[in-house]
Amino acid sequence: MSETSTLLSVSDFSVTYDVDPPVQAVKRVSFDLDRGEILGLAGESGCGKTTLAYGIQRLLKAPAVITGGTALFHDADGETIDLGTLSVGQIRAFRWDKSSMVFQGAMNSLNPVMKIGKQLADVFSAHRPGMSRAERTAASAELLQIVGIDANRLKSYPHELSGGMRQRVMIAMALALKPQLMIMDEPTTALDVLVQREILEQISELRHQFGFSVIFITHDLPLLLEISDRIAVMRAGEIVELDTASNIYHHPTHPYTQKLLSSFPSLTGERGGFLRGEEKKA
């Protein structure tokens, strides 16, 4: 096993969109991610959260270009992998096996004309070619059961599942090869609050069960306060504050973090704004 507790080290990482004029979307971002940790990445839309995640995973497409910095993956066997130096073949092998990603809008990413079982089995076909068909089927059934879906659903098409179930299938797919890192980009968007709660609880349980680390990306800071060990707050391509979830909530130091926290209504205390105005008139 690796002697370090750090799984991922990102240092001075920068991404620019090579347009006219160039747009620097990620500016010298640095952070470490520990093994088994959930790191929340918060910030408004367009601040660079998804671009940063895509850059780490080497998923960026033109005109986006990594213009500086490093992303080092400290494998459990003690090897340090510089993700920026991997060849196309190496990065394909790295993805899913060492690190997986649940993409934004993932529940709509399943192939609509292919059964769930086939789509899960394809992950094993691509990355574990030595597995037999029976082994792939058994592994796919186990994955569904892990995320709380009956194995009979292997025979279902995506349109036969609810949005929450499709999202669980995508999480199962990301877990297929038991990665050490899972990046989740807005995984609960468009789900109702009850389903959202169930999925968040399941992510937490799976993290404890399998020991993987999570980078959880969302603009919903209260959600991150509940599930994250630490939170990085991004603004205009930079991390402006990085601290424990408790300190971010109780002692935010950056004005932007304070504004994010104050932008969400309290569930207690007096009502304000328009309703208060109406009450006064009454």
Extents of the domains making up the chain: 110-178
What's the confidence (pLDDT) of residue 87?
95
Confirm if 215 and 41 have CB atoms less than 8 A apart: yes
What's the confidence (pLDDT) of residue 270?
60
Tell me the whole-structure pTM to 2 decimals.
0.89
Give the chain's end-to-end CA distance (angstroms, integer): 68
What's the confidence (pLDDT) of residue 269?
57
Q: How far apart are CA 28 and CA 25, in angstroms?
A: 10
Nearest to 10 by CA among 31, 24, 25, 38: 31
Segments of the chain with pLDDT less than 70: 1-3, 106-107, 266-282
Q: What is the pLDDT of residues 137-180, one digit of tens each?
A: 999 999 999 999 999 999 999 999 998 899 899 999 999 999 99
Identify any residues that bridge with 182 across adjacent strands, giving them in sequence order.
100, 214
What's the confidence (pLDDT) of residue 263?
81
Q: What is the pLDDT of residues 226-257, one digit of tens each?
A: 999 999 999 999 999 999 999 999 999 999 99
Can you say how many angstroms the Cα of residue 115 is from the centroid of all Cα atoms in its chain? 25
What's the confidence (pLDDT) of residue 195?
82
